Amino acid sequence: MTQSSGDSVMISAKGLTKRYGDFVAVDGIDFRVNKGESFGFLGPNGAGKSTTMRIIAATLTRTSGDITVLGKDPEKFGPEIKAHLGVVPQADNLDNALTVQENLYIYGRYFGLSKSFIRGKIEELLDFAQLVEKRNVKVDDLSGGMKRRLTIARALVSEPEILMLDEPTTGLDPQARHILWDRLFRLKEQGVTLLITTHYMDEAEQLCDRIMVMDKGSIMAEDSPAGLIKNYSTKEVLEVRFGSDRNSVIAPELKELTDRIEILPDRILMYADDGEALLHTLIGKGLHPNTSLIRRSSLEDVFLRLTGRTLVD
Amino acid sequence: MTVIIRQGSLKLVNVERIRKRGAYSVAQSRLRIMLKFFWSVFAAATLNPVLFLMSVGIGVGKLINNHSGGVDGVNYLTFLAPALLASAAIQNALDEVVFPVLEGFKWNKSFFAMNATPLSAKQIADGVFLAAMIRTCFSVVIYGLVIFLFDGFTSSRGWFAIPLALFAGASFGAFVMGLAVAAKNDDSFFMILSRFVIMPLFLFSGTFYQLSTMPIFLRWIGWLSPLWHATELSRFFTYGHHLAPIMVIIHVGYMVAMLIFGLNFTHRQFEKRLSK
């Protein structure tokens, strides 16, 4: 079992840039991922997360900058690096005509693993992915959540040094997401280095030790989920709705009550360390919102602060 | 809860071994998929020659034999059989390098899954091609046996037609595989390929009659077609069709050149598409 050994560096990038003609997909970013760490790229679609992942995974060449994965340059040592990565792409790319265990088997063979090793490994992975009863079922007949778990199990067949997950739970129903998070959390507990891209803040908060917030190819901030919230938001948020017509009329009055407000199309977010007290002040001033809600700050608020936009448009 | 990472890939994965054997593991997984459809492949491989040889070989053959005493000095079935064999090889090869290749890139994206492993783009292409050739070989051998049962080989060297047919399938298949990878629009690609390439090649490659009976301005279709080159060589073996030594060299050379060019072209297309 691989244990997290502190500061041994798995991935390191400096000035990493990818351009497609005039379009800059990744704009000179720097980052480091340590062994045993769970590192997340958080940002909306088109932020450059998947592009960065593909450069790390040696399936896309960079335009400029430096990157090393396990101490090697992915452009020069593609197979040597890929040998130690487990890749879970955004869209499942399983062989639909084959069964669950056949998919695991052939993938193990692509890594040159012996038949006997793969046979034993399949049992562990089926158990891990909760697919023991589905072992002889064709992939075509699996649910979305099962396919996703199988794709993750497949990526683990070679016991990779780094597991890369691109939007692991996009398109899954809430129950399937929670099962998947549980599985990923167990991997994290076992010290597997995880690299995750997501545009779900709850996913990033649950799974990542450290998050890099990306937008339009650049890094907006980088810290632990709690650190980001502490630095870029208040403890609590008061969400108020006055009806879509009145929101913008009332906004100037609300601005005087707290340091930061955000006006969204359907509601106004008011940032404060004590949401309850702020609501009282509001009502004391005769401003009666149709609905109000006090909640803890989340990464969504951090993102809004950093980019002026919500994560899921 | 099972421990998932026990030894780690640094111990388990041997990149040198993959460099040597990667293409074979791709071919194995492709064959595994093909085996799921074994009975339909087997039925097609058997029925296709039986139906063709009965209807055209015997049916149309009777007319021709009665009217002009056969073609090229032999009865019509003997004349026709090697051409049908080679065209069946080409058709089988195309069955495995067109749809399955588009599937791997576009529909289930399984080639991208392979590309995430230490396999190179070239190994993926080679594995897919190798598996396609194994299936083609299977169908061609069955076709050859059926021809034998229909008494279509009059010479003891007639079985040479089998590897020659496979050769035609390989040279044309390698090239078309690259085209399938490069195709931007699947639907029009199939339409153009089957109607404006495969069909004319089948009809104008000296399959049903000698190419020399065609007007000169149509013969070039045959010259370009690996089907014609393979058929000419096969006929030399199956019934002693006259062939000048220089023509033997040209026929073999053309197919070898097309195979080498096709494979290189396909490798480049795989590399390009997988790194896009």
Q: B232-251: per-residue pLDDT in tens?
A: 999 999 988 888 999 999 99
The pLDDT value given to residue B82: 93
Rounded to an integer, the average pLDDT of A248-265 is 88
The pLDDT value given to residue B198: 84
Rounded to an integer, the average pLDDT of A246-271 is 88
Given a contact cutoff of 8 angstroms between Cβ atoms, the answer to whether A307 and A220 are in contact is yes
DSSP class per residue in A72-130: B-TTT-HHHHHTTEEEE-SS----TTSBHHHHHHHHHHHTT--HHHHHHHHHHHHHHTT
Buried b (16+ CB within 10 A) or exposed e, B213-235: ebeeeebebbebbbbbbbbbbbb
Residues of A within 8 A of B100 (CB-CB) are none
The pLDDT value given to residue A1: 39
The pLDDT value given to residue B167: 95
Verify whether the Cβ–Cβ distance A111 to B12 is below 8 Å: yes
pLDDT interval class at A311 (50, 70, 90): low
Cβ atoms within 10 Å of A216's Cβ, excluding its own: 15
- pLDDT value at A244 more than 70: yes
The pLDDT value given to residue A139: 96
Which of A79, A93, A187 is the closest to B120 by Cβ? A79
High-pLDDT (> 90) share of chain A, %: 72
- pLDDT value at A3 more than 80: no
Dihedral sign, CA of A238, A242, A243, A248? negative
The pLDDT value given to residue B1: 59
- pLDDT value at A2 more than 50: no
The pLDDT value given to residue A7: 59
Verify whether the Cβ–Cβ distance B108 to A156 is below 8 Å: no
Rounded to an integer, the average pLDDT of A26-42 is 95
Given a contact cutoff of 8 angstroms between Cβ atoms, the answer to whether A83 and B15 are in contact is yes
**SS3 call for A219:** strand
**Dihedral class, residue A21 (left if φ above 0, else alpha if ψ from -120 to 50, else beta):** left
High-pLDDT (> 70) share of chain A, %: 97
Q: How far apart are CA B10 and CA A236, in angstroms?
A: 46
Rounded to an integer, the average pLDDT of A230-241 is 94
Residues of A within 8 A of B127 (CB-CB) are none
Which of A84, A96, A187 is the closest to B108 by Cβ? A96
- Give the strands of the sheet with A23-34, arranged side by side: A23-34, A9-20, A64-69
Rounded to an integer, the average pLDDT of B6-14 is 90
Chain A residue closest to B19 (CA)?
A79
Residues of A within 8 A of B21 (CB-CB) are 112
Lowest model confidence (mean pLDDT) among A25-34, B13-22, B188-197: B188-197
Rounded to an integer, the average pLDDT of A180-200 is 89
Q: How far apart are CA B9 and CA A29, in angstroms?
A: 28
- pLDDT value at A235 more than 60: yes
The pLDDT value given to residue B220: 87
The first and second tokens of residue B192, run together, are 């153009």
pLDDT interval class at B129 (50, 70, 90): very high
Lowest model confidence (mean pLDDT) among A98-102, A208-212, A218-222, A299-303: A299-303
The pLDDT value given to residue A97: 92
- pLDDT value at A9 more than 90: yes
Given a contact cutoff of 8 angstroms between Cβ atoms, the answer to whether B26 and B126 are in contact is yes
Given a contact cutoff of 8 angstroms between Cβ atoms, the answer to whether B182 and B248 are in contact is no
Interfacial B residues in 11-50 facing A (CB < 8 Å): 12-15, 17-19, 21-22, 25-26, 28-29, 32-33, 36
- For residue A186, which of A247, A95, A125 has the smallest C-alpha distance? A125
Residues 6+ apart with CB under 8 A from A43: A49, A197, A199, A213, A214, A215, A220, A303, A311
Per-residue pLDDT tens digits for B35-69:
999 999 999 999 988 998 888 888 888 888 888 88
The pLDDT value given to residue A6: 44
Interface probe for B, chosen from A75, A93, A162 (most Cβ of B below 10 Å), is: A93
Average model confidence (pLDDT) for chain A? 91
CB-based contact, B5 to chain A, within 8 Å: yes
Given a contact cutoff of 8 angstroms between Cβ atoms, the answer to whether B204 and B225 are in contact is yes
Q: How far apart are CA A233 and CA A258, in angstroms?
A: 13
| CA distances, A36 to each of A40, A67, A129, A149 (Å) | 13, 19, 21, 21
Interface A–B counts its CB contacts (< 8 A) at 133
Residues 6+ apart with CB under 8 A from A291: A240, A241
Rounded to an integer, the average pLDDT of A85-114 is 96
Rounded to an integer, the average pLDDT of B169-195 is 88
The pLDDT value given to residue A213: 93
- pLDDT value at A313 more than 70: no
Per-residue pLDDT tens digits for A282-298:
999 888 899 999 999 98
Min distance B21 CA to chain A CA atoms (Å):
8
Rounded to an integer, the average pLDDT of B114-132 is 97
The pLDDT value given to residue B3: 75
Min distance B3 CA to chain A CA atoms (Å):
7
Of the two residues A151 and A265, the one the predictor is more confident about is A151
The pLDDT value given to residue B192: 85
What is the C-alpha radius of gyration for chain B, rounded to an integer number of angstroms?
Answer: 21
High-pLDDT (> 90) share of chain B, %: 61
Rounded to an integer, the average pLDDT of A117-138 is 95
Given a contact cutoff of 8 angstroms between Cβ atoms, the answer to whether A219 and A46 are in contact is no
Dihedral sign, CA of B162, B163, B166, B171? negative
Verify whether the Cβ–Cβ distance A110 to B114 is below 8 Å: yes
Helix (H) / strand (E) containing B251: helix B245-274
Complex ipTM tops 0.85: yes
The pLDDT value given to residue B19: 94
Average model confidence (pLDDT) for chain B? 91
Rounded to an integer, the average pLDDT of A214-222 is 94
pLDDT interval class at B158 (50, 70, 90): confident
- For residue A85, which of A62, A51, A112, A57 has the smallest C-alpha distance? A57
